[in-house]
Amino acid sequence: KAGVTQTPRYLIKTRGQQVTLSCSPISGHRSVSWYQQTPGQGLQFLFEYFSETQRNKGNFPGRFSGRQFSNSRSEMNVSTLELGDSALYLCASSSGGPEDTQYFGPGTRLTVL
């Protein structure tokens, strides 16, 4: 099976712009979770989607949003970018049960100038 894929791998934006990141889960997986990784804050949970519904949400401002499509692919959107949004954004997929292991993608490195 192909692993979790994320596009694009690298992105450079300027403050105030918006950005959309994409994540394709492992075939058959219905849950996609998003994480932000920064040197200062470490890995922080953003949100999880399961069967096109947001099932859980971390403590991030409303500028961070996401969605999931019927094929389980997920997108994450960040509006009005701030310098502090520079980070590695990771997505992880699983079958969807709480006991299921999450498999991570390679991440999208976002730099905000």
Partner 1 sequence: AQTVTQSQPEMSVQEAETVTLSCTYDTSENNYYLFWYKQPPSRQMILVIRQEAYKQQNATENRFSVNFQKAAKSFSLKISDSQLGDTAMYFCAFMKLVPSDMRFGAGTRLTVKP
Does residue 72 bind partner 1 (CB under 8 A)?
Answer: no
Q: Which residues of 90-109 are buried (b: 16+ CB within 10 A; e: fewer)?
A: bbbbbbbeeeeebbebebbb
Which of 22, 30, 58, 73 is close enough to bind partner 1 by CB under 8 A?
58
CA dihedral for 83, 14, 57, 5, sign (positive or negative): negative
Longest alpha-carbon distance in the chain? 40
Does residue 99 bind partner 1 (CB under 8 A)?
Answer: yes
Nearer to partner 1, 36 or 81 (CB): 36
Which of 33, 68, 74, 93 is close enough to bind partner 1 by CB under 8 A?
33
Does residue 53 bind partner 1 (CB under 8 A)?
Answer: no
Instruction: Give the range of 10-18, 21-29, 41-49, 70-78 binding partner 1 by CB under 8 A.
Output: 41-49
